[in-house]
Amino acid sequence: MANLKEIRNRISSVKSTMQITSAMKMVSAAKLKKAQDAITAMRPYANKLTELLQSLSATLDVDSGSKFADQREVNKVLIVAITSNRGLCGAFNSNIIKQSNNLINNVYAGKQVDVLAIGKKGNDILSKTNTIIENRSDVFDALTFDNVAEIAEKLMSLFVDGSYDKIEIVYNKFKNAATQIVMTEQFLPIVPMESDANVQSDYVFEPSKVEIVEELIPKSLKTQLYKGIRDSFASEHGARMTAMHKATDNAGELRDSLTLTYNKARQAAITNEILEIVGGAEALNN
């Protein structure tokens, strides 16, 4: 059995760890509320923009397709992996890395696949086995639409100039604090819109529907990327809060177990001392 001093040191160490994990949990909980409100407020706008784009595109002629809808033979693929800059958030980052590697090694096996990393953790791991064309972990320093739009514009440029035939986004979708869903979304080319016979066409468009769609598509793509990063940001804090909650609970159980062990060892030591005193007294009497 370990000596009392060693057990006391371990209990002290566990208590210090509990204080750290508990503080990190509270910080993540505070940040989660703000991030959750942001993504919840944004989703209706993003969904309505997509709905409007689908409604307009469904009424256009096939020949009026956008340059962002160019369906080419897929030989060069770009994976946009959205992770976090910091760890201690459970399987949040490893799930994205695992899905990215699955796309690279299985889905697009035999093709040229590069990665654009958004987040330091994804860049650090994926760069060991893949080509990283750029690391934009700085976007989390100031997560604004304008900063994300800059990345989206580069992705659109890379697709239009033929550098890549397909661009996919991999991120964690926020469901709740304990649940994040790994999503793989096709960013470019845009998914063909299915025509709807019930689409209302009794509107006067100014300018033409084609011009409106051409204006909406870049806006929609920027919003799609921004929503993905916002989702990932909220998911990160939810995952970290959950991970730190579990870590705090586990540390509490370990502390209680060590305290019990300490008390047993202390009791055994006291009992041995009493026995030695009694034994010494008996020896003197004899």
- Residue 203: pLDDT over 50: yes
Among residues 180, 151, 181, the alpha carbon closest in space to that of 167 is found at: 151
Q: Could you give phi then psi for residue 142, rounded to 5 degrees?
A: -150, 85
Contacts of residue 187, Cβ cutoff 8 Å, sequence gap at least 6: 80, 155, 167, 168, 169, 221, 224, 225
Residues 223 and 90 in one domain: yes
- Please confirm, yes or no, whether 89 is among the known catalytic residues: yes
Residues 101 and 173 in one domain: yes
Residues 72 and 131 in one domain: yes
Q: 71: number of CA atoms within 13 Å, CB side?
A: 5
Greater confidence, 252 or 204?
252
Residues 228 and 213 in one domain: yes
pTM for this entry: 0.84
Report the alpha-carbon distance of residue 113 to residue 176 in Å, rounded: 32
> Residue 261: which CATH number?
1.10.287.80
Residues 196 and 136 in one domain: yes
Residues 173 and 276 in one domain: no
Residues 203 and 227 in one domain: yes
Residues 232 and 258 in one domain: no
Point out the least confidently predicted range of 9-18, 59-68, 165-174, 208-217: 59-68
What digits encode the pLDDT tens for the residues 26-46?
A: 999 999 999 999 998 898 888
Residues 8 and 110 in one domain: no
Residues 8 and 106 in one domain: no
Domain count, the chain: 2
Among residues 191, 188, 179, the alpha carbon closest in space to that of 231 is found at: 179
Q: Which domain holds residue 8?
A: 4-20+243-285
Residue written as tokens 């909980």? 29
Looking at residue 194, its pLDDT comes to 58
Out of 14, 32, 77, 89, pick the active-site residue: 89
Residues 165 and 73 in one domain: yes
> Residue 206: which CATH number?
3.40.1380.10
Looking at residue 135, its pLDDT comes to 94
Looking at residue 197, its pLDDT comes to 46
Could you tell me the strand order of the sheet in which 76-82 lies?
131-135, 112-118, 76-82, 166-176, 179-188
Average pLDDT of the segment spanning 254-281: 88
What digits encode the pLDDT tens for the residues 135-180?
A: 999 999 999 999 999 999 999 999 999 999 999 999 999 998 889 9
Residues 78 and 192 in one domain: yes
Report the alpha-carbon distance of residue 173 to residue 151 in Å, rounded: 19
Among residues 139, 124, 104, the alpha carbon closest in space to that of 222 is found at: 139
